[in-house]
């Protein structure tokens, strides 16, 4: 379709086009507002070498190896806490129930991102503030128990797990993104309608 035909259709049906765009924005906004409120929470897990371990070590680079061990544990727990079996344990301890999802989706329920070289930021979302709080508290407890199990085997005896305060807040509607999605959807739908209307216009003969 050439631009002249689009311009002709827009001049003739501009009101319909604008109504489609406005309706799409309103629909997307309404769906976002009507969704059940969600609560998101975060927790910081930090793996630190005990200061006294540096003073007692006989090695010149004892502090370096302590930091290296902390970094390795942070990477290890990033994978361990995302393992579907661990996620199931966390949810069961929190009395949240295990959702009927694929193993891949189950492993993504908790978002784990590295912070620096020896810390993890854990994020979790649920329908209530209490469920979110219990989910992150359970994750913290499982992380501590897994580190204890490693240390009982003689691994990383000089590493301690320090946890930050669990922070939970209710999610809010992102106004710019929501309006942007509605506007783009409306523009696409509006031009599609114009395309359909163009089929009713007789084509010029060459």
pLDDT digits (tens, 9 = 90+) for 49-96: 876 554 554 444 444 444 566 888 889 999 999 999 999 999 999 999
Measuring CA to CA, how many Å separate 48 from each of 80, 114, 121, 161, 203? 18, 14, 15, 6, 74
Query: What is the distance between the alpha carbons of residues 131 and 142, in angstroms, rounded to a whole number?
Result: 16
Q: What is the per-residue pLDDT for 50?
A: 76
SS3 109: coil
Q: What is the per-residue pLDDT for 24?
A: 86
Query: What is the distance between the alpha carbons of residues 130 and 39, in angstroms, rounded to a whole number?
Result: 9
pLDDT tens figures, 22-32: 888 888 877 77
SS3 114: strand
SS3 41: strand
Mean pLDDT rounded to a whole number for the chain: 82
Q: What is the mean pLDDT of residues 27-53?
A: 79
Instruction: Name the band, by pLDDT with cuts 50, 70 and 90, for residue 131.
Output: very high
Instruction: Name the band, by pLDDT with cuts 50, 70 and 90, for residue 203.
Output: low
Q: What is the per-residue pLDDT for 61?
A: 43
Q: What is the per-residue pLDDT for 90?
A: 96
Contact 204, 51 (CB under 8 A): no
Return the higher-pLDDT residue of 54 and 100. 100
Q: What is the per-residue pLDDT for 166?
A: 94
pLDDT tens figures, 148-196: 999 999 988 888 999 999 999 987 666 678 778 888 888 888 878 877 7
What phi and psi values does residue 57 have, to the nearest 5 degrees? -65, 145
pTM of the model: 0.66
């Amino acid at each position: 379709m050439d631009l002249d035909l689009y311009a002709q259709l827009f001049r003739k049906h501009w009101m319909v086009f604008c109504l489609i765009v406005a309706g799409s924005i309103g629909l997307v906004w309404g769906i976002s507002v009507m969704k059940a409120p969600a609560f998101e929470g975060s927790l910081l897990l930090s793996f630190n070498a005990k200061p006294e371990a540096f003073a007692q070590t006989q090695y010149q680079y004892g502090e370096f190896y302590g930091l290296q061990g902390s970094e390795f544990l942070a990477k290890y727990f990033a994978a361990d806490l995302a393992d579907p079996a661990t996620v199931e344990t966390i949810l069961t301890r929190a009395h949240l129930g295990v959702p009927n999802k694929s193993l891949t989706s189950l492993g993504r329920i908790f978002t784990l991102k590295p912070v620096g070289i020896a810390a993890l930021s854990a994020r979790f979302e649920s329908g209530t503030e209490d469920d979110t709080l219990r989910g992150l508290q359970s994750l913290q407890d499982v992380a501590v128990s897994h580190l204890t199990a490693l240390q009982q085997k003689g691994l990383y005896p000089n590493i301690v797990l320090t946890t930050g305060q669990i922070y939970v807040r209710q999610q809010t509607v992102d106004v710019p993104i929501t309006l942007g999605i509605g506007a783009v959807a409306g523009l696409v739908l509006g031009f599609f309608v114009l395309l359909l209307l163009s089929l009713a216009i007789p084509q010029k003969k060459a």
